[in-house]
């Protein structure tokens, strides 16, 4: 069954059930060119409503997976099909499991040197059939970028996992998409920190309750002010519902 793309406040969100997920990934792998999977939070959704690079990235992404409960509630409120919510780290694990089962390849980009080395070692132990064809740290000097792009192009990995230390985040691969041959690009900031055991993953129970924002506030207390864009999001939903009627 093909996935369905809906729009929440004009931003694309894909309705992809867990049952359809593996087939969708295999279809992406078979498709030529650079592909991208975006994990979309409610804050990302608000940003993607503007005229900016991130908005273009989301509009052109091959798979947009919602990570915030608020997006699901928003879709329901707008009387659209409600998508499945995805927890980023378990989804990355699921992606790697699919790649491992089909003897695919992986490139790791981002993180500090020691973190990246340990993350690579733990990935190799967990996914023995997943061939890591290259890696490069984040926070790299700009002069190294062409070499990194060439390395990814030549290795042509099935997937490139991008983590912290890449300034443009999701937009890094989008802005350079014409320079890659055949890879799925996925950005998840905490991936290597979690793989290297330098950071604990969010508990499933916390994520299921939609309380993961409190972890972010603990890391950065200024994020408590996200309450204001959240209120704006609620007002936009009401406005879109009124316009629809």
Q: What digits encode the pLDDT tens for the residues 107-140? A: 999 999 999 999 999 999 999 999 999 999 999 9
Asked if the model's pLDDT at residue 164 lies above 90, the reply is yes
Is 185 among the domain residues?
Answer: yes
Q: Is residue 209 part of a domain?
A: no
Tell me, yes or no, whether 223 lies in a domain. no
In a domain, 219, yes or no: no
Whole-angstrom CA distances from 226 to 119, 189, 236 are 31, 19, 15
DSSP state of 82: P
> The whole model's pTM is what?
0.93
Return the bridge partners of 132, or none: 106
Q: What one-character DSSP code corresponds to residue 127?
A: -
Residues 153, 159, 161: CA angle, nearest 5 degrees? 100
What is the three-class DSSP state of 134? strand
CB 184 within 8 A of CB 37: yes
HSE-up of residue 225 (Cα within 13 Å, Cβ side): 3
* pLDDT at 206 (0 to 100): 77
Q: What is the pLDDT of residue 178?
A: 95
Question: Would 221 be classed as within a structural domain?
Answer: no
Residue 81 pLDDT > 70: yes
Number of independent structural domains in the chain: 1
The kind and range of the H/E element at 23 are helix 18-30
Task: Please check whether residue 222 lies inside any domain of the structure.
Answer: no
User: In the numeric block, which tokens belong to residue 177?
Assistant: 């998409």
Question: Tokens in use for 57?
Answer: 């990235």
Residue whose entry in the numeric block shows the structure tokens 């792009």: 149
Residue 98 lies in a domain: yes
Domain that holds residue 69: 4-195
CA 105/CA 107 separation, integer angstroms = 7
Mean pLDDT of 197-225: 75
Q: Is residue 56 part of a domain?
A: yes
pLDDT over 70, % of the chain: 95
Q: Is residue 199 scored above 90 in pLDDT?
A: no
Q: Cβ contacts of residue 82 below 8 Å, gap of 6+?
A: 15, 72, 75, 76
Q: What is the structure's pLDDT at 9?
A: 97
């Amino acid at each position: 069954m093909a996935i369905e793309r809906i729009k929440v406040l004009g931003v694309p969100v894909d309705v992809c059930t867990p049952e359809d997920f593996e087939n969708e990934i295999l279809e992406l792998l078979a498709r030529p060119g650079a592909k991208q999977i975006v994990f979309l939070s409610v804050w990302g959704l608000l940003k993607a409503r503007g005229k900016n690079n991130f908005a273009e990235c989301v509009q052109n992404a091959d798979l947009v997976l919602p990570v915030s409960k608020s997006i699901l509630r928003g879709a329901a409120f707008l009387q659209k099909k409600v998508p499945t919510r995805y927890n980023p780290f378990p989804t990355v694990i699921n992606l790697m499991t699919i790649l491992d089962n089909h003897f695919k390849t992986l490139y790791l980009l981002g993180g500090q040197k020691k973190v990246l080395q340990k993350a690579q070692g733990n990935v190799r132990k967990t996914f023995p059939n997943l061939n890591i064809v290259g890696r490069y740290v984040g926070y790299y000097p700009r002069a190294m970028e062409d070499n990194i792009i060439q390395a990814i192009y030549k290795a042509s990995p099935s997937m490139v996992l991008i983590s912290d230390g890449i300034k443009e985040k999701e937009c890094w691969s989008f802005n350079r998409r014409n320079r890659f041959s055949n890879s799925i690009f996925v950005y998840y900031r905490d991936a290597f920190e979690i793989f290297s055991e330098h950071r604990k993953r969010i508990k499933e129970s916390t994520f299921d309750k939609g309380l993961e924002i409190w972890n972010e506030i603990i890391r950065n207390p200024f994020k408590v002010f996200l309450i204001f864009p959240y209120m704006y999001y609620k007002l936009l939903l009401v406005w879109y519902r009124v316009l629809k009627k």
